[in-house]
Amino acid sequence: MVAPALGRRAFLAGLGAALMASRWPLAAADPGEPAAPRLTLLHTNDTHSHLQPFGPGPYQGLGGIARRATLVRQLRGSLGGTLLLDAGDVFQGTPYFNRYKGVLDYRLMSMLGYDAGTLGNHDFDNGVAGLLTAMAQARFPFLNCHLDARGAPELQERLLPWLVLDQPGVKVGLTGACVDFAGLVAPANHLGVDWRDPVPPLRAAVRHLRKVERVDLVVLLSHLGYDMQGAALDDLRLPALVPGLDVIIGGHTHTFMDAPVRVPQALGETTVFQVGFGGIHLGRLDLTFGPGRMLAASGGPVAVQGGGGTGDSWSVADIGQEKIFSRG
C-alpha cells in the first residue's frame, strides 16, 4: 500500500487516517449522503534557517518556527485532514545554520509534525555527510525521484521516489524533484549524487501512483523554481511535460504568490503554489474531491506573525539554548 521504506511518521499518519476514517463523514448536506472528502495542504519552502522572527526590515516581526508551530497546531485543530509539507532549502541563511548545520531545523520540523519534505540545492551546503547528520534528526520522509545517489548509499536509502499517505477519504501520492546542481551545488558537496533529468522519473512516479497505488491526488514537492524564464525546467512548464500532477508545492525562486495558479495540462489542470522564503508565510491549499480525483483547490499564504506570543507551542528563547533537544 505504502511506499518503499515506510517511515514511522508515515505509519502513524496511516494509523491516524484509519482512526479518522471511522469518524467520517463529518458533515453531510443530506443525512444519507457522505460529505465529499476534503484535505488541506500546509506548506513551506526555502525556510533557510529562519528559526526566529525577522528583525528590522521589510519582514520585521514575521516568521519564526515557534509561531509557525502554533499556527499549524491551530489549523490542524480546526480543519479535517491536513498534511504539512516542505519544498526544500531548509539549510543556510542565518547564524543558526552556521552553528547547528541544519540539525536544529530538521529536529524542530519533526516536532511540528512535518509529513514529508524534499531537498533543495542549499541542503547540500555541508556536503552529503553534513546532510546525513542533519537528516538523522528528521522524523519525516524525504521525497526525490530523480537524483542518482547510488554513490552515496546512505542518502539513497533516505530518498523515496514516491510515497502514499492515507488521509480521511483521500489517498495521497507524493513525489519530489530538485533543481539542476550545475552552478548551484559544488561538485565536492554532492559526491556520489548525480542530478538526472527529472521528467522521465516523474512520469514514471505519476504513472505508478495513479495506476498501481490508485491514489486520488498526486502532489509534487518541487525545488525546481516557479518561473526560470526558460533557462531551466520549472513549475510552470512541468505540467505540460508531466501530465497527471494535481498539485505542485514549489520552492527555490522565493516567489511570493498571493494565490495558487492553475496551469493547464493534458489531463486537466495543475495547481501551483509557493510561499516566498524564510517561513514568513505558511502556504494553505484547501482541496475538495469527487470520486477518485481532486475537483478544486483554493487557498493562499497565511502570514506567520512572529514575536514569540505567549500562546506559542514553545518558547522562542528555548531554541537558542539547546533546551529543545531534550524535548519532543
Interface with Zn ion (CB under 5 A): 89, 120-121, 252
> 94: closest CA among 40, 36, 51?
51
Residue 310 vs residues 1, 210, 297, 303, 317: alpha-carbon distances, Å = 42, 45, 33, 18, 12
SS (H, E, C) 188-225: HHHCCCECCCCHHHHHHHHHHHHHHCCCCEEEEEEECC
Q: Which is nearer to Zn ion, 118 or 271 (CB)?
A: 118
Q: Which is nearer to Zn ion, 190 or 252 (CB)?
A: 252
Q: Which is nearer to Zn ion, 69 or 179 (CB)?
A: 179
Minimum distance, C-beta of residue 123 to Zn ion, in the bound complex (Å): 8
Handedness of CA 19, 20, 26, 31 (dihedral sign): negative
Q: Which residue lies nearest Zn ion, judged by its C-beta?
A: 252
Minimum distance, C-beta of residue 126 to Zn ion, in the bound complex (Å): 15
Minimum distance, C-beta of residue 60 to Zn ion, in the bound complex (Å): 24
Residue 49 vs residues 52, 123, 164, 181: alpha-carbon distances, Å = 9, 11, 28, 21
Minimum distance, C-beta of residue 99 to Zn ion, in the bound complex (Å): 21
> 326: closest CA among 312, 311, 314, 309?
314
Q: Which is nearer to Zn ion, 277 or 289 (CB)?
A: 277
Minimum distance, C-beta of residue 122 to Zn ion, in the bound complex (Å): 5
Q: Which is nearer to Zn ion, 63 or 93 (CB)?
A: 93
Q: Which is nearer to Zn ion, 24 or 195 (CB)?
A: 195
Minimum distance, C-beta of residue 265 to Zn ion, in the bound complex (Å): 24
Minimum distance, C-beta of residue 223 to Zn ion, in the bound complex (Å): 6
Q: Which is nearer to Zn ion, 49 or 82 (CB)?
A: 49
Q: Where are the beta strands (DSSP E) in the chain?
A: 38-44, 81-86, 142-143, 159-160, 163-167, 170-178, 217-223, 247-249, 261-265, 268-273, 281-290, 293-303
Minimum distance, C-beta of residue 136 to Zn ion, in the bound complex (Å): 22
Q: Which is nearer to Zn ion, 252 or 284 (CB)?
A: 252
Lookup result for grid cell 545517489: 149
Residue 58 vs residues 174, 269, 280, 306: alpha-carbon distances, Å = 34, 34, 11, 13
- 276: which residues sit within 8 A by CB, 6+ positions away? 45, 46, 254, 255, 256, 257, 301
> 141: closest CA among 85, 192, 71?
85
